[in-house]
Amino acid sequence: MPTKGGRRRKTRTHVVGPPSGAVGAPESEMTEKVPKSFVLKKGKVHSNVSDLAEEMRRVMEPHTARKLRERAKNTVKDYVSVSSVLGVTHLLVFTQTDKSLSLRVCRTPTGPTLTFKVQQFSLMRHVRALQKRPVEVNQAYKTSPLVVLNNFGDKQASSQVKLMKVTLQNMFPSINVATVKLQDCRRVVMFNLDKTNGTVEMRHFAVRATPTGITKAIKKVVQAKVPDLHGLEDISEYVAGGMGGGISDSEVEDEESKITLPDDYVGRGNVKSQKSSIRLQELGPRLTLELMKVERGLCEGEVLYHSYVTKTAEEIKAQRAKVEKRDNLKRKRRDEQAENVARKKQEAEELAAAKAARRLERAQQAAAEGDADEEGSESDGESGEEETVGSCVGDTIWRWCRSCLSVSFTHARPSFVAAIVLHTIAAQVTHTDHQATTV
C-alpha cells in the first residue's frame, strides 16, 4: 500500500462489480435489455454432456450464470420464477435419453420453445487436440461474441426458419455500430443452415489480428519476441533477411482478409491506420443441431411445428380446442383456489375476532367476581366485630354468674353450666321486675 506523508493511503477501496449487463449487474444496467441466459441440464446425463453444458456457458459469457448451481429437484419452473428477478431472457436446457440428446431453447417467461436434436457435438478439448498451435483467450470471454447467421434465407423462408433465426440472433446482445469498440470484437459465434438436410452447424471462433506488410523477422521484433542472432555479424543482416527473413506467415494469399484497422486492436503491432490480417481460430465447442419441434408456450402449449408429425387442419383445430379447454380449466381451478384462500382467510379472521371477544368477556367476568369478593370480605369483617362484641358480653355474664353463685365450673358439664346460667338470668330478671312493681 503506498504511503503519503508518512501515513498509509488506501488506493483500492472500490469493489469490482460484475461485467456490464451480466447477471447480478446493477439495475441501471439491467434496464438496457441485454439478453441473459441460464444453461442447465435436466435429468441424468453423460459426463460429456455435463462438459458440453459448461462450455456452452463459456460461449454465452459474460451474460450468463457461469457458476450456476443445479439440483436434481429443481424444475424448469423454478428457474423461470427467478428469471424475471435476475433479468434472464433465455433458458438452454440439455436433456438426454437412451437414444438421443436434446437442446431446448426457451424464451422466458411466455415462450416460444424450440427443441433441437443434437446429432453431433465436439468439446473444446477435442478441437484443441486437432490444432497445431492452440491459443488461450481468457480475456476474450469478458465481452460478448459477434453472431453470424448464414443461409437462413430472407422473407421467403418458412415460418420455423424465420423463428429459428430470430431466436438464435436474440440470444446474444445486439451491436451498435456507431458506439462499439473494436477491441471488444474478439469472438465470433457462427450458425450455418444446411438446406439439404435442415441441420444447423454452430461454431465458436476467436478473432486474431497480425500485422502485414513486414517481414517475418520484423514481426518477431514487433511482437516482443527475442530473435535468434547466432551466425549473424550485424543486426542489419537480420533486418535485411539474412536469417528468418522472408514474407510473414500472416500474409496469406487472400487479400480480403487484410484490412486497415480503424482503431487499435489487441496484439502488438495492431495499431490504428495500419494494415493487419484477420484470422479466425476455432475455440469450440461444435454442435450439429436439427430442429424437431416448436411450441408456443414455455415447454408447453400449442405445437406450431414438428419435423416428424404432420397434422391436418381438423387435427390442428382439435388440438387448439383441447389446449384452450385445458387452459380454461387451469384458470378456473386457479380462481377457485384464490376464492378458497380468501374464504379461509376471512374465516380465520372471524374466528380470531370471536376468540378475542370471549377472552374480553372472561376478563370482565373475572374483574366483576373480584369486586364481589372484596365486598364479601368487608361484610365478613363486620360480622367478626359483632361476634367479638357478643363474645365480650358472654364473658361478662359468665364472670357475673360465677361471682353470684360462687360455683366453680371448671369440671362441669356444658349442659349443666348452660342450665345454671339460664336459671340465674331468669331469676335476676324476675327480681328486677318485682322491684319495679313494688316501686
Distances in whole angstroms, Cα of residue 25 to Cα of each of 34, 183, 295: 11, 22, 31
pLDDT at 389: 46
Q: Residues 64-90: what's their mean pLDDT?
A: 91
pLDDT reported for residue 155: 79
Query: Is-cis flag, bond preceding 35, omega within 30?
Result: no
Q: What digits encode the pLDDT tens for the residues 302-361?
A: 888 999 888 888 888 888 888 888 889 999 999 999 999 999 999 999 999 999 999 999
Please write the tens of the pLDDT for every residue from 366-423: 888 877 777 666 665 555 555 554 555 456 555 655 555 555 545 555 555 566 666 6
pTM summary value: 0.64
Arithmetic mean of pLDDT, 260-269: 77
Residue 63 scores a pLDDT above 70: yes
User: How does the average pLDDT of the chain come out, rounded?
Assistant: 79
pLDDT of residue 235: 61
Which parts of 176-282 fold into alpha helices (H)? 216-222, 235-240
Identify the pLDDT of residue 351. Answer: 94
Distance (Å, whole) CA 419 – CA 402: 14
Domain spans, the chain: 18-202+283-310, 316-377, 398-439
Number of H helices, E strands in the chain: 9, 13
Question: Does residue 282 carry a pLDDT above 50?
Answer: yes
Residue 430 has pLDDT above 70, yes or no: no
Per DSSP, the three-state class of 252 is: coil
Q: What is the pLDDT of residues 157-198, one digit of tens each?
A: 899 999 999 999 999 999 888 888 888 999 999 999 998 999
- Please count the residues of the chain: 439
pLDDT band at 212 (very low <50, low <70, confident <90, very high): confident
Question: Which has the closest alpha carbon to 282: 211, 207, 209?
Answer: 207
Task: Look at residue 111 in the predicted model and tell me its pLDDT.
Answer: 86
Whether 62 contacts 45, CB under 8 Å: no
Superfamily of domain 18-202+283-310 in CATH is: Brix domain (3.40.50.10480)
